[in-house]
């Protein structure tokens, strides 16, 4: 499931849409749950959805690639082949980068406007966690016990060494604040860590041990609270004071 982002002023007339995928089927729904459009079946099972931040198109991943569908006419604008399973998708906040976390295990980046592709491999395991900071510079990725944070400024991360933020157990969730380059990371041993990486010199600000591992992290709109969904069905909310 993925809601279309709230429109900016210049696209204030954009319609609210919910994208829903099940198996190979992709459907766009109105807010009242009526079907706006039902797409032709994807080549393989759809594994991830991600709206472009501007709301102009939806990226849908499946084993074998990613399709970009226009949000108005629902036609496939572009298709990017990828010869492996994709577990996660994320756009950079400036719409420049589309990133996949993969089964191989690796991270793959596209610049949809130009078609340029970059690839980073060598992870411990499948890459299932992705998060961009609000400035679209830092890309946090999780495919093992270390958070690998790539610098996506300029020509992009390929050939650069990532920042390494260490956990003692495999990562299970990542989330940046909305206004600052503060990253929350969660690992399978129930540990939540908070990192400041704004200047490229990571500082660990806090460590919290939860009763069970997190499956999802989400910051409140004002960045004052961090919601944590656990694998045992519990929801926790932690307050953050800057």
Q: Does residue 43 sit in the same domain as residue 126?
A: no
Q: Does residue 182 sit in the same domain as residue 64?
A: no
pLDDT at 9 exceeding the cut of 80 = no
**Confidence at residue 15, expressed as pLDDT on a 0 to 100 scale:** 81
Domain ends where: 81, 116, 134? 81
Give CA–CA dist 75/70, Å, rounded.
Answer: 6
Give the DSSP letter of residue 104.
S
Judged by phi (left if over 0) then psi (alpha if -120 to 50, else beta), residue 6 lies in beta
Q: Does residue 162 sit in the same domain as residue 235?
A: yes
Q: Does residue 193 sit in the same domain as residue 232?
A: yes
For residue 11, give its domain range. 1-81
Average pLDDT (43-66) is 97
pLDDT at 8 exceeding the cut of 80 = no
Q: Does residue 107 sit in the same domain as residue 70?
A: no
pTM: 0.94
Residue 63: its H or E element: none
Domain ends where: 47, 65, 81? 81
């Amino acid at each position: 499931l993925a809601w279309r982002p709230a429109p900016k002023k210049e696209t204030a007339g954009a319609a609210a849409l919910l994208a829903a995928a099940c198996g190979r089927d992709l459907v766009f729904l109105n807010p009242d749950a009526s079907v706006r459009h039902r797409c032709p079946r994807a080549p393989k099972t759809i594994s991830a959805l991600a709206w472009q931040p501007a709301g102009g198109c939806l990226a849908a991943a499946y084993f074998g690639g990613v399709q970009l569908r226009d949000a108005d006419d629902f036609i496939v604008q572009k298709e990017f082949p990828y010869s492996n399973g994709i577990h996660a998708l994320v756009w950079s906040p400036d719409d420049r980068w589309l990133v996949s976390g993969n089964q191989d295990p690796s991270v793959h980046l596209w610049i949809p406007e130009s078609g340029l592709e970059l690839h980073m491999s060598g992870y411990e395991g499948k890459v299932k966690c992705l998060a961009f900071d609000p400035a679209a510079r830092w890309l946090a990725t999780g495919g093992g016990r270390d958070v690998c944070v790539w610098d996506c400024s300029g020509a992009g991360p390929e050939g650069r060494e990532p920042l390494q933020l260490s956990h003692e157990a495999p990562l299970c969730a990542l989330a940046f604040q909305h206004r600052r380059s503060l990253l929350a990371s969660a690992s399978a041993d129930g540990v939540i860590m908070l990192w400041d990486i704004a200047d490229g010199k990571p500082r660990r600000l806090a460590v919290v041990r939860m009763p069970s591992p997190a499956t999802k992290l989400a910051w409140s709109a004002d960045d004052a609270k961090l919601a944590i969904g656990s694998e045992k069905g519990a929801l926790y909310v932690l307050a953050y004071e800057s």
